[in-house]
């Protein structure tokens, strides 16, 4: 019985809740959470999104009642997605930087209502283009790189001028980070606005509920010529390094849980930058659906999912679970 080897026994190190907590290199905190919210152009809208349980499209007049209680619980940052339903979309996404569009109105409103809240804006064209793609296209259906990067930069600058603390391009057009950084600097916003790049954004099956929520499904084809192939570890590494070289302040990996190896790579490739990951709509829906099917307890699984991201090395998590985490982390 006394034969157990000294080196065999690990359990003595985590026998107590406190000693278990010491096993984590880093813990999830409220400041790591960024909450994605959908802003629509009917100012009084509150429309639940069936494929994204618990999430809704909000009109600007509803933001105070929606965000106020969350700020009370410790919400520190949001990322805004525009959902224009009453605008005329065209091939260059003109409504994206409409001064009276939902995103710009929401930035101004939130800045006034909640001065301590950090406001990031997703920057993309797909919600605003007639074809539903994220860039500007030539007549033959191929991406027109320079006009795409230039148009994305115009939109990002408009959000920065409206008061966004952070602009986050999710379009995956080549050269957009450089183009946005240049535009911010030239307009005097170089030191006013963070540039968070969706650097390693994969062509994933997990965006379905988002496209449903934002009305941004492409009218033809898919996004495989600009979002990365799921197996493309090398391209992801190159994209991360490219975006750092082009002036990104934060890099992001998206989706998160199926790409933990990429998060870990990014932490090594960009060790001096904050590292974000996006637990996307389909990941959220999957966790919720599993809990509803009795596969696991929702809270336990939600923690396990984001803890995997923290363990892989991210410092910032975009997640639809943010309101629930604010409650859970308050207990």
Ligand X SMILES: NCc1[nH]cc(CCC(=O)O)c1CC(=O)O
Q: Kindly list the catalytic residues.
A: 201, 254
Interatomic CA distance for residues 315 and 313, integer angstroms: 7
> Is residue 317 at the binding interface for Zn ion, with CB under 5 A as the rule?
no
134 touches Zn ion (CB under 5 A): yes
Confirm or reject binding of residue 183 to ligand X (CB under 6 A). Answer: no
* Cβ atoms of residues 140 and 170 within 8 Å: no
Q: Is 223 annotated as a binding residue?
A: yes
Phi, psi for residue 145 in degrees, rounded to 5: -60, -55
Q: Which residues within the stretch 95-124 sit at the binding site for Zn ion (CB under 5 A)?
A: 122, 124
- Establish whether 124 is an annotated binding residue: yes
- 210 near ligand X, rule: CB under 6 A: yes
Tokens of 241: 């390094």
Q: Does 211 show up as a binding residue in the annotation? A: yes
Site string for ligand X, 285-324 (x = CB under 6 A): ----------------------------------------
Q: Is the N-terminal amide bond of 255 cis, ω within 30° of 0?
A: yes
Assess 170 for contact with Zn ion (CB under 5 A).
yes
Shortest CB 134 distance to Zn ion, Å:
3
Specify the 3-state DSSP secondary structure of 119: strand
Task: Return the biggest CA–CA distance within the chain.
Answer: 79
Residues 42-81 within binding reach of ligand X (CB under 6 A): none
Burial 169-190 (b: 16+ CB within 10 A, else e): bbbbbbbbbbbbbbbbeeeebe
Among residues 157, 164, 46, 65, the alpha carbon closest in space to that of 107 is found at: 164
Task: Annotate each residue in 110-149 with x if it binds ligand X (CB under 6 A) or - if it does not, as one string.
Answer: ------------x-x-x-------x---------------
Report the candidate in 319, 326, 323 with the shortest Cα–Cα distance to residue 305: 319
Site string for ligand X, 147-176 (x = CB under 6 A): -----------------------xx-----
Residue 148 is a binding residue for Zn ion (CB under 5 A): no
Question: How far, in Å, CA of 90 to CA of 38, rounded?
Answer: 21
Q: Is 283 in the site for Zn ion (CB under 5 A)?
A: no
To the nearest whole angstrom, how small is the minimum distance from the Cβ of residue 254 to Zn ion?
10
- Binding residue (CB under 6 A) for ligand X from 58, 189, 207, 259: 207
Sign of the dihedral through C-alpha 56, 61, 64, 65: negative
Length of the chain: 331
Among 55, 94, 216, 305, binds ligand X (CB under 6 A): 216
195 or 302: CB nearest Zn ion: 195
Q: Which residues contact residue 93 at a Cβ distance below 8 angstroms, ignoring those fewer than 6 apart?
A: 125, 126, 127, 128, 129, 136, 151, 155
Residues tagged in the binding site annotation for Zn(2+): 124, 126, 134
Residues tagged in the binding site annotation: 124, 126, 134, 211, 223, 281, 320
Q: Which residues make up the interface to Zn ion (CB under 5 A)?
A: 122, 124, 126, 134, 170
Q: Which residues make up the interface to ligand X (CB under 6 A)?
A: 122, 124, 126, 134, 170-171, 207, 210-211, 216, 223, 280-281
């Amino acid at each position: 019985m006394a034969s157990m080897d000294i080196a065999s026994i690990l359990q003595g190190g985590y026998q107590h809740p406190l000693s278990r907590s010491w096993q984590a290199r880093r813990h999830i905190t409220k400041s790591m959470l960024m909450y994605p919210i959908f802003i629509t152009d009917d100012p009084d809208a509150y429309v639940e999104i069936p494929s994204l349980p618990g999430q809704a499209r909000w009109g600007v007049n509803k933001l105070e009642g929606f965000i106020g209680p969350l700020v009370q619980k410790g919400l520190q940052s949001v990322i805004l997605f525009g959902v224009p339903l009453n605008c005329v979309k065209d091939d260059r996404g003109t409504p994206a930087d409409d001064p009276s569009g939902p995103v710009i109105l929401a930035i101004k409103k939130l800045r006034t209502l909640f001065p301590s809240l950090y406001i990031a804006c997703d920057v993309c064209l797909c919600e605003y283009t007639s074809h539903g793609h994220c860039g500007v296209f030539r007549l033959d259906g191929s991406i027109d790189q320079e006009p795409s990067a230039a148009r994305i930069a115009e939109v990002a600058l408009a959000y920065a001028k409206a008061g966004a603390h952070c602009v986050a391009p999710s379009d995956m057009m080549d050269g957009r980070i450089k183009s946005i950084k240049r535009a911010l600097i030239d307009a005097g916003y170089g030191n006013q606005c963070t540039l968070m790049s969706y650097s390693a954004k994969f062509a994933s099956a997990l965006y379905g509920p988002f496209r449903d929520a934002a009305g941004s499904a492409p009218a033809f084809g898919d996004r495989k010529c600009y979002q990365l192939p799921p197996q493309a570890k090398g391209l992801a590494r190159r994209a991360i390094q490219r975006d750092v070289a082009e002036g990104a302040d934060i890099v992001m990996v998206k989706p998160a849980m199926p790409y933990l190896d990429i998060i870990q790579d990014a932490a090594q490739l960009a060790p001096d930058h904050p590292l974000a990951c996006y637990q996307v709509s389909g990941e959220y829906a999957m966790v919720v659906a599993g809990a509803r099917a009795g596969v696991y307890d929702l809270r336990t699984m939600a923690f396990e999912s984001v803890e995997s991201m923290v363990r892989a090395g991210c410092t910032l998590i975009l997640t639809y679970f943010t309101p629930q985490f604010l409650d859970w982390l308050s207990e």
